[in-house]
Amino acid sequence: MNPQERQQIAQALADWFHANGRDYPWRRTTDPWAVLVSEVMLQQTTIPTVLGRYGEWMRRFPTPQALAAATEEEALRSWEGLGYYRRVRSLRAAAQAIVERHGGVFPTEAADIRALPGIGDYTAGAVLSFAFNKPAPLVDANVARVFARLCNSRTPVDSPAGRREQWCLAEQMLHRTDPRAYNSALMELGQLVCTAGAPQCLLCPVRAWCRAKDKNPAELPVKLPKKQTTALEHWDILHVTKRGILLELQPEGKRHAGLWRLPRRSQEEVQGLEHIADQAYSVTRYKVTRHLHRATPGTRPRKGESYIPLHGLEQIPMASPDRKIINTLIPGSHAR
């Protein structure tokens, strides 16, 4: 693909986005903090879910200073239901860095943005282009799929060589004068037209330049073999007394660090207890099955476990599967 073709593709994409781009709250602002929040939320969370939470979250934490001043517990509780809680921890750390290093003013230089905690190449590129309209490359799954098909690339996009290839192309393809629209178009094209299952090639604004159009674009991108899904089982107890419900605070290093969960016991320890529910859910490549049993009246808290009043459940950060099953088993527990 020669430089002239790259420029033509970039302009065609920018023009297409100006005519067809969808309206989202984070596209109505150039506030870099609002852009950063949207990008962090959209990582591994669907657009409809983010649309339901973004406005409320931004009203609660409209500036880096607001989140930097919040406790970790408050930040985790605000993120509940969005999953992957390390994201909000990183976002809070970035807010604190903006306050401490930049006096609360969001940095405008690429090096300063990349130096913020939790900010990788993609997020830096998104903030630079969407907030400041600076030409900065970005590659996510949608962009990688578009590039792989445009170039008819057979290099696995999730391999080191594939990632290098994608980022190199992203740098070469940049629209220098309208990067905000161009990068938005790349992502939008992958979401709406150049989709994973059935690409709508006849609607594609860059079809004329696509090297996969006369082959089978649905075969691309090539990916490495998927890691096998691992099945996990664990056994928990439900213990409700006048003091409240017994919960366990997950320590640092755990997947749900800082969140409250139903206390876990060994399979042997729940033998003979009343089995009251099963719950299945997925976390990344794990499929988890929980077996919940009713504790005996004489159950005592262990290290890290505490009684939480039922009326106080709304204020504490809790892992989503736990909150769901408690809401189901204890109506009116105010666990929402």
The single-letter code of the amino acid at 182 is Y
Angle made by CA atoms 110, 115, 120, in degrees to the nearest 5: 80
In whole angstroms, give the CA distance from residue 76 to residue 55: 17
Of 298, 307, 288, which Cα lies nearest the Cα of 235?
288
Phi-psi region of 110 (alpha: psi -120 to 50; beta: other; left: phi over 0): alpha
Q: What backbone phi and psi angles, to 5 degrees, belong to 237? A: -125, 150
Known catalytic residue at 39: yes
The conformation of residue 278, written as its DSSP 8-state character, comes to E
Helix (H, G, I), strand (E, B) or coil at 322: helix
Helix or strand holding residue 266 (H, E): none
> Residue with structure tokens 């860059």?
206
Whether residue 196 contacts residue 188, with contact meaning beta carbons closer than 8 Å, is answered with no
Annotated catalytic residue within 39, 80, 165, 305: 39
In whole angstroms, give the CA distance from residue 295 to residue 14: 60
Length of the chain measured in residues: 336
Pairing status of strand 230-238 against strand 286-294: parallel
Whether residue 261 contacts residue 248, with contact meaning beta carbons closer than 8 Å, is answered with yes
Cβ-proximal residues to 124 (8 Å cutoff; 6+ apart), any chain: 110, 113, 114, 136
Q: Retrieve residue 125's tokens.
A: 């590129």
In whole angstroms, give the CA distance from residue 137 to residue 144: 12
In whole angstroms, give the CA distance from residue 184 to residue 132: 13
Q: Which residues are catalytic?
A: 39
